[in-house]
Chain A
Amino acid sequence: MSSVIRARGLVKAYGKSRALDGVDFDVPAGRIVGLIGPNGAGKTTALKAILGLTDFEGELSVLGYDPRTQRTQLMNEVCFIADVAVLPRWIRVGEAIEYVEGVHPRFSRKTCEGFLAKTKLKPAMRVKELSKGMVAQLHLALVMAIDAKLLVLDEPTLGLDILYRKEFYQNLLNEYFDHEKTIVVTTHQVEEIEHILTDLLFIKDGRIALAASMDEVGERFTEAMVAPEKREQALALKPLYERQVFGRSVFLFDGPARDQLAALGELHKPSVADIFVATMKGAYA
């Protein structure tokens, strides 16, 4: 089994609108995949389908299980954090640990307490007394103490300040991730995670707009800063996107060879955010 997730022709309709409109993708093992799309593009619906939280049409296999019928077995090997506000407000830190320990065969209390020892969290504290950042620390500690094969993160750092956001991803990368594990993450703060991603999945209007590894992205996409007199020449190469900086045009290209582009002007490696903006052109139109 090479793919951790294999999706073919996923369709999910809410009434007449289609949140997923025939989605195909594969997530290989040992990758960190960014599932990135504008609001309403179907990211959360795709994750819900992967986690067996919603019904859908099409073919989907997660770690060899069908999430529609084998959700409980699947949850032994998958963890997810669905934004920071989902831990029950009444629960105490100690109770949350005891509960997960009681129901999850792959949970290690020792590991979890090790993570919590680095925070200000105490077992008697209630979630409702914690700041958002502390709730995220608790959730991450619980999840990282589970030896899961797949971790799904849906906007895990929404509403956190930059210190907690940095710490969150740092912990994830240093203490948790290895070649046995796969992480799928959605976020709007692309620039903060692009250095940890190995693969990109752009989703737009319920369809996959881009599926590529970061290496491929680096080869395919090039940004060129073009002087006004060469603008026509650049346009002829069918850029994805054009923006103006200090009277010069910055073009984003998908495909053309570098030596061809070098003649136009200075070349840069575009950021994921730039590629995202270019790919999503017209998403809200």
Chain B
Amino acid sequence: MNRYVTLLKREYWEHRGGFLWAPVWAVVALLAMSLIGMGVTSWHANRTFDGEIRIGVPLQKLLSEIPPHEMAKLGLGYEAGLGGFWLVMQIVLFFVLFFYLLGALYDDRRDRSILFWKSLPVSDTETVLSKVAVAAIGAPLLAWAATVVLHLLFLGMLGVFVFAHGLSPMELVWGPAEPLALAAKMLALVPVNALWALPAIGWLLLVSAFARSKPFLWAVALPVALAVAINTFELLEALRIPDTWFWQHVVGRILTSLVPLSWFANAFIERAEQADMNGPGPEMLVDWSVIGGVLASPELWIGVVAGTAMIAASIHFRRRRELAD
């Protein structure tokens, strides 16, 4: 057990900057921007005679006129707002993971430190799987923790701000917002994202284990060139498969399925088409039925199989490939 913890720690030590400091700085930046937003609002409020926040009319007056059942929608507003923060955090995570995976089995071949790692009794399978575990679960968990902290700090700040303007934070902020329920949903999405991202994790590790130089170019240019060639020669049309199929299901999956909630895009568009004129509400952002639908889709599981195969190929190349210097 201790042995596997050590392998995970090793990844963390090397990539502390991406796994720890990138989310921390994103939290700091988002909170700073929120603070600036609140500052600007306060400044505007202070320019009015009564010192109230006005959205055309004073906010206090507006709130008193809203019927209680409409107030309930405030909670959805918070879910959407906090969801937006979450999305920013996940995009940061995407960039961290993309470059982490691309370097995971390449950097140590370039700087020769692979000779040190291979001098220890750790099998190539263990090495590769430790990197998969970090990319699929470890780093997303750290990003999740940072997001929860961000949400709580933001709601705390907003409560103080509302209170400073003579409104009730319990009624306006801490009551309607449900950060803990959202935290649970975000946590539940970590394994869903991991399964969906497996083809991208597999592909990037494979390139990382295989490339003798320029892994980024290999990772991106190879599938894109292949897709362009397929489009140009209309290979798939002969099989009555639309041209976009390869882009969406191969290029798209191996490069962008690391993007958080990218599995959600399809479901979202489908829902939007069924929904009324107003479109889907923010509540479906983490609707359990959407998640269930993705888990039941063959797309996800075909991706898992393809990803697993590419991870197996990475292990093979990790064993065979020598230095990249």
Q: Is A bound to B?
A: yes
Q: Nearest CB to that of B122 among chain A residues? A: A103
Task: Report the contact-size class of chain A (Cβ under 8 Å from the partner).
Answer: 20 to 34
Give the interface SS of chain B, mostly helix, strand, loop or mixed. helix
Q: Give the chain B neighbours of A105 by CB distance below 8 A.
A: 121
Decide yes or no whether B178 CB sits under 8 A from chain A.
Answer: no
Decide yes or no whether A15 CB sits under 8 A from chain B.
Answer: no
Contact stretch, chosen from A68-76, A159-167, A214-222, A260-268: A68-76
Pairwise interchain contact A99-B121, C-beta atoms closer than 8 A: no
Q: How far is the CB of A189 from chain B (nearest CB, A)?
A: 20
Given contacts A53-B322, A54-B322, contact A88 B121 (CB under 8 A): no
Given contacts A54-B322, A92-B13, contact A87 B113 (CB under 8 A): yes
Decide yes or no whether B61 CB sits under 8 A from chain A.
Answer: no
Please report which residues of chain B, range 1-30, place their CB below 8 angstroms from some CB of chain A when the two chains form the complex.
2-3, 5-7, 9-10, 13-14
Q: Give the chain A neighbours of B112 by CB distance below 8 A.
A: 82, 85-86
Q: A64 to B6: give the CA distance in the assembly, Å.
A: 29
Q: Nearest CB to that of A85 among chain B residues? A: B112
Decide yes or no whether A98 CB sits under 8 A from chain B.
Answer: yes
Decide yes or no whether A32 CB sits under 8 A from chain B.
Answer: no
Interface size on B, residues (CB 8 A): 25
Pairwise interchain contact A95-B120, C-beta atoms closer than 8 A: no
Decide yes or no whether B111 CB sits under 8 A from chain A.
Answer: yes
Q: Nearest CB to that of B12 among chain A residues? A: A95
Q: A72 to B318: give the CA distance in the assembly, Å.
A: 14
Decide yes or no whether A80 CB sits under 8 A from chain B.
Answer: yes
Q: Give the chain B neighbours of A95 by CB distance below 8 A.
A: 10, 13
Decide yes or no whether A100 CB sits under 8 A from chain B.
Answer: yes
Q: How far is the CB of A89 from chain B (nearest CB, A)?
A: 7
Q: A48 to B111: give the CA distance in the assembly, Å.
A: 17
Q: Give the chain A neighbours of B114 by CB distance below 8 A.
A: 86
Q: A87 to B116: give the CA distance in the assembly, Å.
A: 6
Please report which residues of chain A, range 80-130, place their CB below 8 angstroms from some CB of chain B when the two chains form the complex.
80-82, 85-92, 95, 98-105
Please report which residues of chain B, range 107-150, place their CB below 8 angstroms from some CB of chain A when the two chains form the complex.
108, 111-123
Given contacts A54-B322, A82-B115, A86-B115, contact A102 B9 (CB under 8 A): yes
Q: Mark B287-320, 1 if CB is under 8 A from A, else 0.
A: 0000000000000000000000000000000001
Q: A89 to B6: give the CA distance in the assembly, Å.
A: 18
Decide yes or no whether A19 CB sits under 8 A from chain B.
Answer: no
Pairwise interchain contact A79-B119, C-beta atoms closer than 8 A: yes
Q: A258 to B253: give the CA distance in the assembly, Å.
A: 77
Pairwise interchain contact A98-B9, C-beta atoms closer than 8 A: yes
Q: A81 to B116: give the CA distance in the assembly, Å.
A: 7
Q: Nearest CB to that of A90 among chain B residues? A: B14
Pairwise interchain contact A72-B115, C-beta atoms closer than 8 A: no
- Among A82, A85, A90, A103, point to the contact of B121 (Cβ < 8 A): A103
Pairwise interchain contact B122-A88, C-beta atoms closer than 8 A: no
Q: A71 to B117: give the CA distance in the assembly, Å.
A: 13
Q: How far is the CB of A185 from chain B (nearest CB, A)?
A: 15
Q: How far is the CB of A135 from chain B (nearest CB, A)?
A: 11
Q: A95 to B12: give the CA distance in the assembly, Å.
A: 11
Pairwise interchain contact B119-A80, C-beta atoms closer than 8 A: yes
Q: How far is the CB of A182 from chain B (nearest CB, A)?
A: 16
Q: How far is the CB of B129 from chain A (nearest CB, A)?
A: 13
Pairwise interchain contact B13-A91, C-beta atoms closer than 8 A: yes
Q: A91 to B117: give the CA distance in the assembly, Å.
A: 12
Q: A73 to B2: give the CA distance in the assembly, Å.
A: 18
Q: A91 to B120: give the CA distance in the assembly, Å.
A: 16
Q: How far is the CB of B209 from chain A (nearest CB, A)?
A: 15
Q: Give the chain B neighbours of A88 by CB distance below 8 A.
A: 14, 108, 111, 113, 116-117
Pairwise interchain contact A103-B119, C-beta atoms closer than 8 A: no
Pairwise interchain contact A72-B119, C-beta atoms closer than 8 A: no
Q: Give the chain B neighbours of A72 by CB distance below 8 A.
A: 121-123
Q: A82 to B6: give the CA distance in the assembly, Å.
A: 23
Q: Give the chain A neighbours of B9 by CB distance below 8 A.
A: 98-99, 102
7 A-B pairs closest in CB distance: A102-B6, A75-B121, A88-B113, A82-B115, A72-B123, A86-B115, A76-B121
Identify 14 new A-B residue pairs, CB closer than 8 A, beyond the known A86-B116, A88-B111, A102-B7: A51-B119, A53-B118, A72-B122, A86-B114, A86-B115, A88-B116, A89-B111, A90-B13, A91-B13, A98-B6, A98-B9, A99-B6, A99-B10, A102-B2
Q: Which residues of B contact A (CB under 8 A)?
A: 2-3, 5-7, 9-10, 13-14, 108, 111-123, 320, 322
Q: Which residues of A contact B (CB under 8 A)?
A: 48, 51, 53-55, 71-73, 75-76, 79-82, 85-92, 95, 98-105, 139
Show 24 residue pairs from A and B whose CB-CB distance is below 8 angstroms, ordered by the A residue.
A51-B118, A51-B119, A54-B322, A72-B122, A72-B123, A75-B119, A75-B120, A81-B119, A82-B112, A82-B116, A82-B119, A86-B112, A88-B14, A88-B108, A88-B117, A89-B111, A92-B13, A98-B6, A99-B9, A100-B120, A102-B3, A103-B6, A103-B7, A103-B122
